[in-house]
Amino acid sequence: MADKQQTIKKEVTFEGRGLHTGNKTTITFKPAPVNYGRKFVRVDVENAPEIEAVVDNVVQNDSVDSLRGTTLQVDGVEVHTVEHVLAALVGLEIDNVRIELNANEPPIADGSARPFVDLLLEAGIEEQDAERAYLVVTETVDYIVEDKSIEIVALPTDDYRLTVMIDYQNPALGSQHSGLFNMKKEFVSQFAPARTFCFLHEVEGLIEQGLIKGADLDAAVVIVDRQLDDEDINRLREKLQLSGEVTLGKTGILNDKQFRFKNEPCRHKLLDLMGDLALVGVSIKAQILAARPGHKSNIEFARLLRKLYKKQQLTRKYQDIDKKDVIFDINAIKKILPHRYPFLLVDSIVELEPGKRCVGVKNVTSNEPFFPGHFPGRPIMPGVLQIEAMAQVGGILLLNDETDVSNKLVVFMGIDNAKFRRQVIPGDQLVMELEMLKARRNTFKMSGKAYVKGQLVCEAEMMAMVVER
């Protein structure tokens, strides 16, 4: 994989109809500067809003259209069925591009990514003077939906590979598998041409749901899985507004169309997976194994990977190397908090969801400076310092994403409902969990709980304010 970011050399345009909306669309790819990313721009909407191609912007619902394609939305402005465009960009390793649309869905063309790939190759690909960002998978990440036998797994490797298996238990399709192991050598010729497909029994249902308004038999492979009489065929032709002949054929595909590859449906599923995982927002180094994937499961897996990427970025902001099971080590904590010996009471941060939750650890040793006086002969960690340790974890939660933490302080304003459940003594490991309750401008309310060996030892609600030093 290339180490430098890439964009296209010139502007290129393509016209067609959207698969589900049926809208006539002009799509224009334009060069973009470094770190711009991939953004769809609705030029038909006032102020031409940009919609970044990241999973945070995916429409979340369980309607049929969410299962038949991936929709992005920002402030009520949508772009439907983005996966083929994104797969083309990933396959050609194009990081930065402005994608202008004069309607709400890219053209479906022949149902594959090849028209977009051909167009982008015509534009030419240009290396940029900036390093490419990567999500590097260092341990297994998996997503399982047991009742649908769906499983997607990411395994560590030093490049990007995908393997997909599908099984529709249909004689015309059967079980299929496919794998992409070398993007540069295989994507353009072996995967970009794979077309979208559906089963004949699904077509009328999709029409009734208000989908595939732009469909025709050149935009998808329709697999025959039930018999139709002449009346059914005429009704299908009328609903799809087809002018040509429609026949069941003998190949198992409507109108006896030929597969471009023996396992073309599986290759298209891999293409869809590539497009959906583009919504992680950066290039990926991982081996992806997917059994029976679909858009909904792809998106949920992309959410897991993007969350992992954000965690890695946060860690690297404050420490040079990743450490297993640690978000911030003690050196990183010192870059965020101003506290120092003998008042720094957090050794590591092991979980962090910015703006939501933070978990820190304090290893309580016999060398703590407060034990000689609290109490001689029977060392017990003062409850007020347990509260302070939780407050420092809260400080990490509030400051971790600040641009310049050196100019910020967390000042605590109040403590409510403090309770101490049991003593904390030398040898204990204090695990502190802080959860955000309210956030308003620069004031915050958090709930804190501290545990030793899974038992609650201390809890309190804390109010704090972020101020300039």
The catalytic residues are: 295, 374
Give the span between the Cα atoms of 427 and 416, in whole angstroms: 28
Residue for token pair 């004689």:
171
Q: How far is CA 119 from CA 114, 125, 274, 345, in A?
A: 8, 11, 19, 58
Under DSSP, is residue 197 helix (H, G, I), strand (E, B) or coil? strand
Give the span between the Cα atoms of 176 and 257, in whole angstroms: 19
- Listed in order, strand segments (DSSP E) in 93-231 are 97-101, 125-131, 134-136, 141-145, 150-155, 160-167, 175-180, 197-199, 221-223
Give the span between the Cα atoms of 313 and 335, in whole angstroms: 15
| Residues making up the chain, counted from first to last | 469
Q: Is 58 exposed, middle or buried (0-12, 13-18, 19+ CB in 10 A)?
A: buried
Peptide bond into 375 cis (omega under 30): yes
Q: Is 445 exposed, middle or buried (0-12, 13-18, 19+ CB in 10 A)?
A: middle
Nearest in space to 448 (alpha carbons), one of 371, 374, 365, 346: 346
Nearest in space to 281 (alpha carbons), one of 38, 88, 43: 38
Backbone torsions φ then ψ of 122, nearest 5 degrees: -65, -40
Under DSSP, is residue 390 helix (H, G, I), strand (E, B) or coil? helix
Secondary structure of 47-62 as H, E, C letters: CCCEEECCHHHECCCC
Alpha helices in 278-322 (DSSP H): 295-318
